[in-house]
Amino acid sequence: MEFWRELAIAVCLMLVLEGIIPFLYPQRWRTLVSRLAMIDDRTLRTTGLISMLLGTAALYWIH
């Protein structure tokens, strides 16, 4: 049960962090999202993979 509690906490923190920029700068957020829509799939996937690897490495280092 501890795992599910920590996973829920992590999801909640992710939602808070993801909501900060659109809350503070909605126009900039809209501009960023429209620019992201123009990026090709390969670049987005590469960026996502790098982000996941960095996150995994940071978790490993912290834990």
Q: What is the mean pLDDT of each run of 10 residues along the chain (63 residues)?
A: 92 95 96 95 96 94 88
- The confidence score (pLDDT) of residue 1 equals 84
- The confidence score (pLDDT) of residue 63 equals 82
- The confidence score (pLDDT) of residue 33 equals 94
- The confidence score (pLDDT) of residue 52 equals 96
Domains of the chain: which residue ranges?
2-62
How many C-alpha atoms does 59 have within 13 Å on its Cβ side? 7
Q: How far is the C-alpha of 58 from the C-alpha of 10, rounded, in Å?
A: 14
- The confidence score (pLDDT) of residue 28 equals 96
